[in-house]
Amino acid sequence: MITTGGGTGTGNGTERSEGSPDAVVHLYQELRRRGVSSLGEVGAQLRLSPEEYERCRCELTDLGLIVPTNPAQHGARGELRAGGVGGGPPRESAGDEAGDGDTVAVIDPEIALLRLLHREREQLREHLDEADRAYDTLETLAGAFLRAGSLTRADADVELLSDYRRIQQVLEDITDVIQHSLASMHLTSLRREVGERVLSRDRRQIENGVRVRAMYSEQACVSPEVAEHLRRRVEAGVEVRIASAVPMPLIIADEQFAVVPVDPAEPAAGAVLARGPALVRSYLALYEHCWHTALPYGDGSAPDLGGDGLSEQQRAALSMLASGMKDEKIARGLGVSLRTVSRMLSELMQEMGATSRFEAGVRAYRLGWVD
């Protein structure tokens, strides 16, 4: 904010300010001392060069610290800002009529600031209105495809995708609008460049709170390159499991979209996009069955299961959960990472149909899984 007091005044108004970085302050202070006055006349008395005068005039006008008082100019600051009073300070006044042409009034800095903020707010509101209109247009064009939540339990739609580029675009579109979960099956490994895009997408989705699961067949995991890719996905937070056999490639998003092959034996035949829970539920049930029979990536053998189907580690985790322990303490008690504990408890809660940690503990106790 420009200050107007102290020892920076111009005294008799004839101090030379040319080349000074404070010339605009000197000009403003002198204008404020005089009240309504000729901008060009004051600039000449301060001995401002045409360039310095122009710079000061533009800055004071843009900041709203001066406004024209000539009735022909009032309310049209563009003329003053554009140099309507000449490219430099006049050497002398040509009389009252000529002097009125560049007469300006000085505005208090506080008032100028409030006006500037108001102008910026109005511009921001216009930009927001434009963004809202653009969003409404895109939403209308996208239709139900981008509004996953608009699909009710009775809604169902199927689209046959025969063009490879269309399939890739559909996959990109789906993964961009995921809000809760992404589950996938893979018969083969991914090319390196595709794998990098998948990792980048994994990180973005997990940061947004999406649960990402991926299942691979044992045959797809024989090469060191694939093993490294899976290791990096696990490090990113993806839940990865390995199955002795995967029935077909499959992608399920938010229990609303599923992409499956037209013919699992012939990948080049195209894909089917299924929309709506009425269709996706069956594919999700198949996926969950395969998921629970597969092994977490990195496990060399199946865990020892008790009569309740739980491993000792799962049983211990449930017991600690039921006693009120937090995930960090459970991880220390089991000697595993926090990510492993979070994944394990999430799988157990899903298997029991529990929607909260408290409900999971209660159900585990009722099922006799914990003492």
Q: What percent of the chain has pLDDT over 90?
A: 8
- Residues in a beta bridge with 271: 161, 261
The pairing of strands 239-243 and 211-217 is: parallel
Reported as a single tens digit per residue, the pLDDT across 114-165 is: 888 888 888 998 888 888 888 777 766 665 454 444 444 456 788 888 888 8
Domain architecture of the chain: domains with CATH: 23-107 (no CATH), 149-296 (3.30.870.10), 312-366 (1.10.10.10)
Residue 268 reports pLDDT greater than 80: no
Reported as a single tens digit per residue, the pLDDT across 182-192 is: 999 987 666 55
Instruction: Give the pLDDT band of residue 7 (cuts 50, 70, 90).
Output: very low
Q: Are 163 and 268 in contact (CB under 8 A)?
A: no
Q: Are 301 and 199 in contact (CB under 8 A)?
A: no
CA dist 297 and 313 (Å) reads 16
Average pLDDT value for residue range 61-69: 86
Q: Are 306 and 299 in contact (CB under 8 A)?
A: no
Instruction: Give the pLDDT band of residue 5 (cuts 50, 70, 90).
Output: very low
Q: Considering only 6-10, 35-39, 68-72, 248-252, which range has the smallest mean pLDDT?
A: 6-10
* Rounded to 5°, angle at Cα 282 from 278 and 287: 135
Sign of the CA dihedral running 305, 310, 316, 317: positive
Per-residue pLDDT, 362: 78
Instruction: Give the pLDDT band of residue 75 (cuts 50, 70, 90).
Output: very low
CA dist 48 and 340 (Å) reads 72
Average pLDDT value for residue range 202-225: 83
Q: Considering only 6-10, 96-100, 277-281, 297-301, which range has the smallest mean pLDDT?
A: 6-10
Average pLDDT value for residue range 199-219: 87
CA dist 310 and 122 (Å) reads 62
